Structure 1
Amino acid sequence: METGNITALADTDSMGTVSMYLAMGWIMAGFMVIIVGSTAAPMVMGLPTLLPLLGGWSSAMSAVVWLIAGPLVGAVHGHFLPLFGVGAVAICSTALFTTIFVRLLGMLAVLPVIAVLMFLGVPASNGAMSIYMEPEMFRVLHEVLPTPAAVESVRSILYFDADTVGTHLTTFAVWGVISLVVVILIDRSRPRRPDAALPVGTEN
């Protein structure tokens, strides 16, 4: 039986892990902006201010991640526009998901968010290890979690002319929209106090 290499890895990605690390940059950018922002700048965590902030942050950090992976490190060559676009969507979706748990748990949100995005997401990502070598549970999670969607989006863009990106964008959209709806419901059921957005120490 002959084996053919449909798309060879770049010389700078001999282990095939660049897609995972690029995706992890997106996921961490979305996670950290909410975790840090909820503590350092709680006045911007209301949806009217948070959503425009996330739009700018997602775009800026997607460009920064590409800049690091591309021109600075040399692990990625070209593909700026598709990686930038998918990265911005992935960052925003992850941030909205994180916002749910920050609303409910405060800083303890780190625990469930990391559990979903890292402890479950990384093994299910098909990044560090082939998904076909994973237990069945991770194969199921591979189809629904945002971390696998991020990894597979990068791999599709870099090596397969973005053939499956649409499917993964749908995954991000579902997570983002559902997360936004849940945050809205939380805010309506637990209205923020007038002074809740003020930094500690500024109360009259």
Structure 2
Amino acid sequence: MHNATPGAGARGALTPGTLALVLGVLLVQLSFLLSYIGSFHAPDPQGIPIAAVAPQKAADRLDRLPGDPLSVTVVEDERTARERIRERKAEGAYLMNPRGSRDTLLVASGAGGPQAQALRKVGERVAADQGRQLKVVDVAPSGEQDHESLTAFYLIVGWLVGGYLLASLMGVLAGTRPARPGLAGLRLAGAAGYAVLSGLGGAIIVDPVLHALPGHFVALWWVGALLVFGTAACTLALEAFLGVVGIGVAVLIFVVLGNPSAGGAFQQHLIPSFWRAIGDWIPTGAGTTAVRNIVYFSGNALGTPLLVLGGWALAGVVLLLVGSLRRRERGLTLPL
């Protein structure tokens, strides 16, 4: 007859490894709160790049407004200003009318509704201070079924979740570290097939099903496939080096840091400098920018976002293969 010592089960459960995992989860949770609340609690325009059709002195006044909400580049005419917005070199434009009392502000809500609203508030304050009227024109409006241009962000988040959940499931079912490069290659092949289907599914949902981002089906499909594969590959690589802790690191990168800095709910020039600095270099932000540029800006300025997504995918592949080689080398024994 086996007599269990009271409390032995509890002591067995509270191992140093278990306590370390609990502490890790707590740190991820607190990081989540700090990152989201820190980036979103007080949105404030900072250095929003705009074009200005105005005399240099007037443009300088715009550039030196209290709080530095704008970063102004003087251009020749309205056509040039519109081109800069379309090419993603400016987020808006202020057109001063020298022959009348009403100026024009160009905004692009397709790049994000809150940013367009912030530009409008700044422009209206400038016009009121000078005793002038202001006409606001949205030159790249978000779609009727895409409120505040949020669909791109949530589409990217959905794809990202699928990518790291797939990698997490592979780690749980088959072990976090592939025993050899061939098995790592099989995991990558599985992730690639899943990514193609995931990208396809997301494109179907936002285009023919919900009509939220219509007319760009193929481009969205392949952006989604690249994003999902890169997320899965990076998570697999982190698992290969860190074990189950790698899943937490993936969540830290893609969700805790990636979501608030992506320019989804609040665009990058409305959030604090730390999140603004990292947003373009994390797949969440790069993917959100890529989708918006495809849908609302004729596919302009896609080079950097696609390079970022491709870079993460390549890094994940290389690191996973290296991780599998490291395990193989550790398992080698000398012949006796």
Whether these two folds match at TM > 0.5 is yes
Q: Output the amino acid matched with 2:146.
A: D
2:193 to 50, 53, 56: 56
Give distance in 2, aligned partners of 1:110 and 1:178.
16
> Is 1:2 matched with 2:104?
yes
Seen in structure 2, the aligned counterparts of structure 1 residues 103 and 43 have a Cα distance that, compared at 3 Å, is closer
Contact 2:177 2:324 in 1 (8 A): no
Q: Map of 1:64-83 to 2, 5 A cutoff?
A: 64-83=201-220
> Is 1:121 matched with 2:223?
no
- Structure number with bigger Rg: 2
Per the alignment, residue 69 of structure 2 pairs with: none
Per the alignment, residue 140 of structure 1 pairs with: 277
Deviation at 1:158, TM superposition (A): 0.9
Higher RCO structure (Cα 8 Å, ≥6 apart): 1
Seen in structure 2, the aligned counterparts of structure 1 residues 110 and 84 have a Cα distance that, compared at 3 Å, is same
Contact 2:177 2:240 in 1 (8 A): no
Deviation at 1:43, TM superposition (A): 10
Contact 2:176 2:239 in 1 (8 A): no
Coordinate RMSD, CA, aligned: 2.1
Give distance in 1, aligned partners of 2:193 and 2:282.
24
Q: Output the amino acid matched with 1:52.
A: A
More helix by share: 1
1:188 to 321, 325, 333: 325
Deviation at 1:64, TM superposition (A): 0.7
Runs of 4+ in 1 over 4 A off after TM superposition: 41-45
Per the alignment, residue 21 of structure 1 pairs with: 154
- My pick for the range that moved more, 43-52 or 10-19, is 43-52
User: Which ranges in structure 1 are unaligned for 5 or more consecutive residues?
Assistant: 195-204
Cα deviations by residue, 1:87-134 (Å, 9 ceiling, x for unpaired): 111111111111122113333323211111011111110111021111
Give distance in 2, aligned partners of 1:36 and 1:86.
23
Deviation at 1:192, TM superposition (A): 8.9
Seen in structure 2, the aligned counterparts of structure 1 residues 97 and 87 have a Cα distance that, compared at 3 Å, is same
Per the alignment, residue 200 of structure 1 pairs with: none
Deviation at 1:15, TM superposition (A): 2.0
> Is 1:109 matched with 2:246?
yes
Seen in structure 2, the aligned counterparts of structure 1 residues 54 and 192 have a Cα distance that, compared at 3 Å, is farther
Give distance in 2, aligned partners of 1:18 and 1:101.
29
User: Which ranges in structure 2 are unaligned for 5 or more consecutive residues?
Assistant: 1-102, 106-136, 332-336
